[in-house]
Structure 1
Amino acid sequence: MIDTILFDCDGVLIDTEMLALDIEVNFLAQNNFFYERMDFARAFIGMDGVGMRAQMGRDYLAQHNRPMPENLFDDMWAARDAHFATHLTPVPNADLSLRAWKGKKAVASSSKIHHLKTNLTQTGLADLVYPNVFSADQVARGKPHPDVFLYAATQIGAKPENCLVIEDSINGVKAAMAANMDVWGFMGGGHVWPELATQLTAIGAKRIIYSHEELAQALTQLQS
């Protein structure tokens, strides 16, 4: 029986993923480090910074036959965060889903905890989720490992088998499955690619949701 909802943040509540994707790919290209946009999305959306930095290091070595410059990753994220400060918006009607669920709920994200606080406040969603906001910063391993979901459940007194995760990424769905939680794939963010729904279903998502209007209705029905 589902009694707790765990929301991913980026791409589910806040439309960061499309903004980040464009900024990051363009910044790297300006520094002679090249990714196809959708290849970058498939590889890194939902991944925490530690895992992302490590994989990018391997990719840079493969492209250039030398280690990635130490400051490149941090400079890329600084450029992204500066853009977020003036361009960040919630995923349309994200507040509807947060308001629809009357039981226990939390945000469990790969983003750094201070970014979560800043971004949720900036987009007007903070009051709907605080204090139950948790980050991969607070656990040993980020997604696709289950740690952040299990940590969030423990902190709010929920059993993993009673949690439903709302996720937009392959890494996130894998993490939810590893945590022994039900998971729905969310396709309402601006960054999704056509085959993502099939990919999320193939790795365990029980349902695909295309908007927060649909999600709010489904969460209401779960409680009836």
Structure 2
Amino acid sequence: MNNDRLATYLKSLESPERSFLEQVEREALESYVPIIRKETQSFLKVMLEITRPMRILEVGTAVGFSALLMSEYMPEGAHITTIEKYEKRIPIARENFRKAGKDDVITLIEGDAMEVLKSLDGPYDLIFMDAAKGQYPHYLPEVLRLLAPGGVLMSDNVLQDGNLIESRFAVERRDRTIHSRMREYLYTLKHHKNLETSILPLGDGVALSVKKNEERR
């Protein structure tokens, strides 16, 4: 099967988003700002329709594209809290939220994700992890503390363009730390007593985890 041709075909089936969202996506791609891929966007929208989360936490705002996307598909009355520390992107995200008329339903918190996570109170129904990949294992304990029983953790970019299946010695030296940490993260998700996890070769890899209810453990 030609995966590139298949991906192109599947992308061709997508319907256009609200014009402002399309603009934010286009500007991000032109500026080489990493945002979620089309196929991941589609999957996230379906998850929002299935889970109907009222409290959403996003770790990694960038320029605000994924938060804006979620705000279009989340239930009425829901709220998104999103975390970003990169100073150059924060004002762009805030302006995008304002222009979209979403700054009343999206709260952007500036700062290091680990410190911010420690300061938050849960529970959150959906947590979308799209931050520094090498930090995922460090964030996980706080993320699980904040995730509601039955809540969903969606972790993006977990397969590193396929490099994750390679030996650490086969990847570039500069990527070896991230490589080992992501392998550690996925192993933990799959073997954690409080989680049920599926890892999907979607986009650059998505790990979908559900926090088990106490009575189901």
TM range (shorter): 0.3 to 0.5
TM-score using structure 2 length:
0.39
More strand by share: 2
